[in-house]
Amino acid sequence: MFPGYTPKNPQQAPTAALEEAKATQATFYRGSTKDINVLQSRFSQQSVNIANDPSDIEQRLQAVVVMKRLRIEEFFKDFDKLRKGKVTVPQFKGVLSMMNYYMTEEEFEALSNKYATSDNMFNYAQFCHNINSAFT
């Protein structure tokens, strides 16, 4: 029942569970481990750089928005007086700062390039729609 459990009183031990535990212990290190190079397999693997992946940045933002229960449109409405759905890139950086969400310059550039409009503005309407999709 519980592999590796040895009762103090052997008369109380179920024989099937005891024999199963012994069989597991006997076969655990049966193969040779001399060909395994732990240091090479652990430290020679290439690191994965996900810093410039906008979808990963959005997933992390979605997690923060859900966890803090933020309504991110409200942050943008202060900057967009005409309600066009666009703000400047520095204003977008200010919104992230107001949300207490900080990212690296590479992450910020990747995200601002993804939602850039033809007139060098940031399309926050589409951004908010994608971030709020975490709630549905």
Question: Does a structural domain hold residue 77?
Answer: yes
**Residue at 82 is within a domain:** yes
Mapped onto helix, strand or coil, the DSSP state of residue 123 is strand
**What is the pLDDT tens value at each position of the chain, 136 positions in all?**
566 666 666 555 556 666 766 665 555 555 666 666 656 655 555 555 555 566 788 888 888 888 888 889 998 988 988 889 999 999 999 998 888 888 888 888 989 999 999 998 999 999 999 988 888 7
* Residue 14 falls inside a structural domain: no
How many structural domains does the chain have?
1
Q: DSSP per residue over 78-108, as a string?
A: TT-TT--SEE-HHHHHHHHHHTT----HHHH
Is residue 79 domain-resident?
Answer: yes
Tokens of 126: 């589409």
* 86 assigned to some structural domain: yes
Q: What letter does residue 8 receive in the DSSP assignment? A: S
Q: Would you say residue 58 lies in a domain?
A: no
The C-alpha atoms of residue 24 and residue 20 are separated, in whole angstroms, by 6
Is 122 among the domain residues?
A: yes
The CATH number given to whatever domain includes residue 100 is: 1.10.238.10
Residues of the domain holding 95: 73-135
